[in-house]
A and B are shown apart, each in its own frame.
Chain A
Amino acid sequence: MSNSTDFLLALEGVTVSFDGFKAVNDLNLYIDKGELRVIIGPNGAGKTTVLDLICGRTRVSGGSIKFKDQEITGLKEHEIVRRGIGRKFQTPSIYEDLTVFENLELSIPRGRNVVGALFWQRSEEVVERVHQIAKMIFLFDFLSRSAETLSHGQKQWLEIGMLLIQDPELLMLDEPVAGMSVSERAKTAELLNEIIKHRSVIVIEHDMKFVESIAHRVTVLHQGKILAEGDMDTIQHDPKVKEVYLGH
């Protein structure tokens, strides 16, 4: 690996243990600018935990996480977000009691302190931005609907939209197509291919078909460690991977 400044995100020697159990163990992971990386691995491999560590939800026990060459371990969650890292949760996490429009509006990265939020004005520009994102995530016709009435797949899109409107440099998606129908999956793949043009994306996914449709580079995680890394073809033919994960 060359000079570390080439990477948008660099995890080095990252370890976290829960009561002695090492969920992530001495992990090195480098993400380039503009890269789409897929992380796969069996249940409990530590995939979600890696995202938790990057976005500050869980504190590292050891190692370093650098974003744009700056250490981000120890920053507060909202500070990490403001540096340019967005994260989608494994189960769709949206504001059910608000409308689709309001969900997106609240995610616009302005007026984020108490005073700013109190005197926030819904300007033309805001409405336009919300409309633009809503079109991307196939929810333009649902803007005034209460978010709780959306289908599971639409909720997933909405959460992706809430991240897109923040325009993060690094977007992390935890199982974005879980619970989606076949046609919804295809649309999501199309959406991801659009999103990735402007930023780096980390996707965690179980669905191999979906992975094939988007994957550029794949990292296989197993028991908190990297088992293999490479393009989809190499991974699918790697005997170690076959054994622990693809296994059939």
Chain B
Amino acid sequence: MWNPTNKKLDLELVGFALIALLILVVLPLSVDAFRLNLVGKYLTYAFVAVGLVLCWGYTGILSLGQGVFFGLGGYCMAMFLKLEASSVANTKIQSTPGIPDFMDWNQLTELPFFWVPFKSLPFALFAVIAVPAIAAFILSFAMFKRRVGGVYFAIITQAVAAVLTILIIGRQGYTGGINGITDLRTLLGWDIRTDGAKYILYFVCCVLLLGSMFLARFVLSSKLGRLLVAIRDKEDRVRFSGYSVGDFKIFIFCLASAIAAVGGAMFSLQVGFMSPSFVGIVPSIEMVIFCAVGGRHSLVGAVIGTLIVNWAKTSFSETFPELWLFAMGGLFIAVVLAFPRGLAGLFTDQILPLIKRVGMRTGALPKPAPAE
């Protein structure tokens, strides 16, 4: 079982360094601009996986609706970008110039009130975090204060994902409907569609991801992190030790959701659109699979798992698109049954002891003191 010794945390730091090396140096030097942008897209999902390590891996709260928060963050960013792309000059052929094209197609003649503040970049950036965090707070407050947990909570999050998707698709005049918010062009006049911009945005994404990982590490290595494990293990014992368990669950769920939302915003910036296909049930479950494959108790594992599964998905669906969903389902079942702690667990349980043994035989590593 998982045991938070200092040694394990040091190993984690090594993992962070390797990830930083991989995404900041190795990949930018070895793949072309198109592929690098693709990696950048994968990395936005890694934010969600990092959040899932916090709430699922450590606290035992399985959310099958993280796409909601990824999507809300992405939409907040996309709304700002869309408004900038819909300047009067760019949209003079519309019957109402100055509003997003899909609104014009849906006979709207005025910008809806909730779009207006998104003309401001500071507000939009604030909303990227605040809107998903508030949504997560309302949902988790309602559930955890009533002691709804486990499978029931997972089902509720699925329902929320389904409802939000239906809402976005149904209200296309306000949301862009099933196509989402597309044709995003500039950020304060800076064209985000060029290779150069994508290159820079990729690095911004990497830095934010590493920042989120360090934030998560700080939380998990604090006493609060140990409390989360305690809650996962014996919720009642924590409660009868004088803690208000609900508060801690709400906190970690909101944090996980806010981190997912940053990923969503980086998605809109790097890929140039946001649509309901990243909000619903299927993408939400996919994100859980990324985390499970990598190892839900490991921040490093979750990021690596996300990269590997997405890379597999891209290569797979280029050749056999119709088989991908089956492959993914199979992968999930295999991981749950054979490696419940994912690749990270495989590494610490199998590969690390092997390295140590080989290291000792060759004399590269000192022999440990004999066990008692």
Contact pick for B247, options A57, A95, A114, A122, CB 8 Å:
A114
Q: Which of B183-226 contact A (CB under 8 A)?
A: 219, 222-224, 226
Which chain B residues (215-244) contact chain A, with CB distance < 8 Å?
A: 219, 222-224, 226-227, 229-230, 232-234, 236-244
B3 contacts chain A at the CB level, 8 A cutoff: yes
What chain B residues lie within 8 Å of A16 (beta carbons)? none
In the bound assembly, the distance between CA atoms of A109 and B242 in angstroms comes to 7
User: Are B239 and A95 in touch, CB under 8 angstroms?
Assistant: no
Q: Which residue of B lies closest to A76 (CB)?
A: B244
- Kindly identify, within residues 103 to 122 of chain A, every residue whose CB is under 8 Å from any CB belonging to chain B: 105-107, 109, 111-114, 117-120, 122
A154 within 8 A of B: no
In the bound assembly, the distance between CA atoms of A164 and B4 in angstroms comes to 24
Docked pose: A148 CA to B234 CA in angstroms: 13
Q: Does B248 contact A (CB under 8 A)?
A: yes
Q: Is there contact, CB below 8 Å, between A98 and B223?
A: no
Query: B1 within 8 Å of A by Cβ?
Result: yes
Q: Which of A3-11, A65-73, A81-89, A209-217 is near enough to bind chain B?
A: A81-89
Q: Which residues of A contact B248 (CB under 8 A)?
A: 114, 117
Closest A residue, CB atoms, query B233: A95
Interface string of A228-242 (1 = CB under 8 A from B): 000000000000000
Interface membership of B16, Cβ < 8 A: no
A55 and B241 alpha carbons, distance in the complex (Å) = 11
**B219: which A residues are within 8 A, CB to CB?**
118
Neighbour of A112 across the interface among B2, B230, B243, CB < 8 A: B243
- Any A CB within 8 A of the CB of B251: yes
Within 8 A of A (CB), among B1-31: 1-4
Cα A76 to Cα B239 in complex, Å, equals 10
Complex Cα spacing A96 to B232, Å:
10
Q: Which residues of A contact B243 (CB under 8 A)?
A: 78, 112
Contact present for B233 and A97 (CB under 8 Å): yes
Q: Which residues of B contact A105 (CB under 8 A)?
A: 223, 226
CB pair A166–B1 under 8 Å, yes or no, is: no
Q: Is the CB of A113 within 8 A of B247?
A: yes
Q: Do residues B229 and A162 form an inter-chain contact, with CB atoms below 8 A?
A: no
| Nearest CB on A from B279, distance (A) | 28
Contact A94 B234 (CB under 8 A): yes
- What B residues does A146 contact at CB under 8 A? 1, 3
User: Which one of B222, B223, B233, B242 lies within 8 Å of A78 (CB-CB)?
Assistant: B242
Q: Residue on B with the closest CB to A103?
A: B230
Q: Contacts A96-B1, A98-B4, A146-B3; is A106 near B230 (CB within 8 Å)?
A: yes
How many angstroms between the C-alpha atoms of A222 and B4 in the bound complex?
46
A-contacting residues, B331-353, CB 8 Å:
none
A32 at the interface (CB under 8 A from B): no
Cβ-defined partner of B227 (8 Å) among A77, A96, A117, A119 = A117
Which residues of B have CB within 8 Å of A81? 239-242
Known contacts A76-B244, A78-B243, A94-B237; A118/B222 CB under 8 A: yes
Q: How many angstroms between the C-alpha atoms of A219 and B245 in the bound complex?
A: 34
Q: Which parts of B60-80 form the interface with A (CB within 8 Å)?
A: none
Pairwise interchain contact B1-A111, C-beta atoms closer than 8 A: no
Chain A CB within 10 Å, residue with most, of B3, B229, B241, B244: B241
Residue A102 CB within 8 A of the other chain: yes
**A148 and B2 alpha carbons, distance in the complex (Å):** 11
Give every chain B residue within 8 A of A17 (Cβ-Cβ). Answer: none
Determine if A49 is an interface residue (Cβ-Cβ < 8 Å). no
Nearest-neighbour CB distance to chain B for A142, whole angstroms, equals 12
Which of chain B's residues have a CB closer than 8 A to the CB of A118? Answer: 219, 222-224
Inter-subunit contact A93/B241 (CB<8 Å): no
Q: Are A162 and B224 in contact (CB under 8 A)?
A: no
The reply to whether A97 and B237 form a contact with Cβ atoms under 8 Å apart is: no
A93: nearest residue on chain B (CB-CB)?
A: B237
Chain B, Cβ-Cβ closest to A107: B241
Using Cβ atoms and an 8 Å threshold, which residues of chain A touch B245?
78
A106-B223 in contact (CB<8A): yes
Cβ contact within 8 Å between B236 and A106: no
A106 to B224, CA, bound (A): 9
From residue A70, how far is it (CB to closest CB) to chain B in Å? 17
Q: Are B223 and A96 in contact (CB under 8 A)?
A: no
- Could you tell me the distance between the alpha carbons of A111 and B239 in the complex, rounded to whole angstroms? 14
- Does A99 touch B at the CB level, under 8 Å? yes
Q: Let me know if A98 and B230 touch, CB within 8 A.
A: yes
Contacts of A93 in B (CB 8 A): 234, 236-237
Find chain B residues with CB under 8 A from A109 CB: 242
Residues in A neighbouring B240, C-beta threshold 8 A? 55, 57, 77-78, 81, 86-87, 89
Q: Can you report 14 residue pairs joining A to B where beta carbons are below 8 Å apart? A: A77-B239, A78-B239, A78-B243, A81-B240, A82-B242, A89-B237, A94-B234, A96-B233, A98-B3, A106-B230, A112-B244, A117-B223, A117-B224, A148-B1
Leading 7 A-B pairs by shortest Cβ distance: A120-B223, A117-B224, A81-B242, A95-B230, A93-B237, A117-B223, A118-B224
List the interface of chain B (C-beta within 8 A of A). Answer: 1-4, 219, 222-224, 226-227, 229-230, 232-234, 236-245, 247-248, 251
Given contacts A109-B242, A113-B247, A122-B223, 7 further A-B contacts (CB under 8 A): A57-B240, A77-B239, A78-B245, A89-B237, A94-B237, A97-B1, A159-B237
